[in-house]
């Protein structure tokens, strides 16, 4: 009987030591996310179930069972099948619009409508043969009174060339009469989804 007791104790001790050995072989990480649908955006655009993070960096991706066996985490998150994507970077360029903008008057930072018009006059002197006179960047909030501009001054200075000046955000513009005539816009033209300031 004592033999079996000693044998049982020895086996239990061996099993405990074996478990301790398994636990000590696991790497420590800060975060382990499991049971997810992770889009890795690697060269093959593969999807995985889990990932481990240490010091703010991914140290492994793979199956939930594999990573649970390899890593001991300070924090574990069960994603319950939810989708996980890498950070999105909206890095793009409206190339055609950018090219057009290189030929437009820079009106950013103009402190008044008078300064805006002055920049436009100088721009016209640099491009005397341009079919259209365009500019972008004015902001009436930077001007005394903060009122939207009207076309009157543009009609006087540029009666024969169409002028279109876009606001800094691109959601408003001021045009002279020549541009309005070419666009077929009159005092009674209805506008869907926008507003025409008349006699503003």
Per-residue pLDDT of 84-93, as tens digits, reads 998 877 777 8
Q: Does residue 186 contact residue 166 with C-beta atoms inside 8 Å?
A: no
95-108 b/e with 16+ CB inside 10 Å = b?
A: eeeeeebeebbebe
**pTM for this one?**
0.55
Over residues 30-46, the pLDDT tens digits come to 999 999 999 998 899 99
Domain co-membership, 75 together with 100: no
| 189-198 mean pLDDT | 82
d(CA 76, CA 51): 10
Q: DSSP alpha helices (H): ranges in the chain?
A: 2-25, 64-70, 95-101, 113-126, 152-157, 177-183
Q: In this prediction, what percent of the chain has a pLDDT beyond 70?
A: 87
What residues make up the domain containing 76? 26-89
Same domain, 46 and 100: no
Is residue 168 one of the residues assigned to a domain?
yes
139, 169: one domain: yes
The answer to whether residue 136 sits within a structural domain is: yes
C-alpha distance from residue 194 to each of 5, 117, 161, 175 (Å): 90, 25, 25, 15
Give domain status of residue 118, yes or no: yes
Structural domain contains residue 78: yes
Q: What is the CATH number of the domain that holds 75?
A: 2.30.40.10
Q: Tell me, what CATH number does 101's domain have?
A: 3.10.310.70
């Amino acid at each position: 009987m004592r033999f079996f007791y000693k044998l049982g104790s020895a086996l239990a001790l061996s099993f405990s030591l074996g478990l301790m050995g398994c636990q000590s072989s696991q790497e420590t990480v800060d975060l382990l996310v499991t049971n997810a649908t992770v889009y890795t955006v690697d060269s093959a655009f593969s999807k995985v179930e889990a990932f481990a993070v240490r010091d703010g960096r991914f140290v492994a991706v793979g199956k939930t069972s594999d990573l649970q066996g390899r890593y001991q985490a300070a924090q574990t998150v069960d994603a319950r099948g939810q989708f996980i994507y890498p950070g999105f970077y909206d890095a793009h360029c409206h190339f055609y619009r950018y090219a057009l903008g290189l030929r437009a008057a820079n009106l950013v930072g103009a402190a008044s409508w008078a300064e805006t018009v002055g920049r436009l006059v100088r721009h016209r002197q640099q491009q005397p043969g341009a079919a259209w006179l365009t500019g972008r960047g004015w902001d009436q909030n930077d001007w005394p009174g903060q009122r939207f501009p009207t076309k009157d001054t543009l009609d006087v200075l540029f009666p024969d060339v169409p002028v279109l000046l876009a606001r800094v955000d691109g959601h408003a513009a001021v045009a002279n009469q020549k541009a309005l005539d070419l666009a077929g816009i009159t005092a009674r033209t209805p506008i869907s989804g926008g507003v025409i300031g008349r006699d503003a």
